[in-house]
Amino acid sequence: MKLITILIITYFIFSCQNNENENSIKENQILKSIEITDSIVVYNSSQDKIGWILKADYLIKLTDENRLNFKKIKLEILNQEGIVSSTIYADSAEVDDNKNMIIAKGNIKVFSKEGDLFGNTLTWDRNKDKIISDDWVKIIKDGNTIWGERLRTDSNFEHVVIQKASAEGEISESQIAW
C-alpha cells in the first residue's frame, strides 16, 4: 500500500512539473510573438507619398505572422495629391502585410466625397485597390439611400457595384448603369 501511495505522489509531482514547463514554454512563445501598444498611428507610404493613415486605440502585433490587429480604428485613405479621399471607422481591423489586405469589422462607417457607407465588414485588397463586403451595407449618396449586399468598389468609392439592392430616393436615367 505504501508503494502505491509513493508511486501516485511521484506521478503527480512529475506530471505537475511537466505541465508547468509546458505552460511556461507556451507563455514564452506568446510573449515573443506579440507586441501590444496603446494609442497608435500607422502611416503607409510609397515613393514619398502617404497612401493611408491608420489611427487606433490599441494594437496587437503578431510578429510571427506579420499581422497587425487594431481596436477602434480610423483609417484615412489619401489620393495621389495627398488629400483624404475617404475615412473608414470600425471597431477593429486586421492588417495582413503578407497578403497586402486590411479587414475591418464591426460598426463600419465610411465617409467620402462620393458618399457614405455603413456596414459590418469590409475588406480592402490593396494589391487591386478593391474594397469588398459580402454583408449587407447601406450607402448614402446625394441624399439617396441604397441597401444591398456583396459590395464591390475602389478605395475612392467612385465605381460601386452592389447586389440585392433596394433604394430610397431619386436618380436620373443617366446615373443608372444596367
pLDDT in tens, 16-30: 544 444 455 445 445
Number of domains in the chain: 1
Q: Which domain holds residue 141?
A: 33-175
- CA atoms within 13 A of residue 63's CA, in its CB half-sphere: 8
Question: Does residue 44 belong to any structural domain of this protein?
Answer: yes
Pairing of strands 84-96, 34-46: unpaired
Q: What 3-state class would DSSP assign to 31? A: helix
Q: Which three cell numbers stand for residue 49?
A: 507619398
Rounded to whole angstroms, the Cα distance separating 75 from 8 reads: 59
Q: What is the mean pLDDT of each run of 10 residues along the chain (178 residues)?
A: 44 48 48 73 83 87 78 89 89 88 92 88 89 90 86 78 79 60
pLDDT in tens, 73-108: 998 988 888 889 889 899 999 988 888 888 999 999
CATH of the domain at 69: 2.60.450.10
Please calculate the CA angle 58-61-66 and round it to the nearest 5 degrees: 145
Question: Does residue 158 belong to any structural domain of this protein?
Answer: yes
pTM equals 0.69
Question: Does residue 75 belong to any structural domain of this protein?
Answer: yes
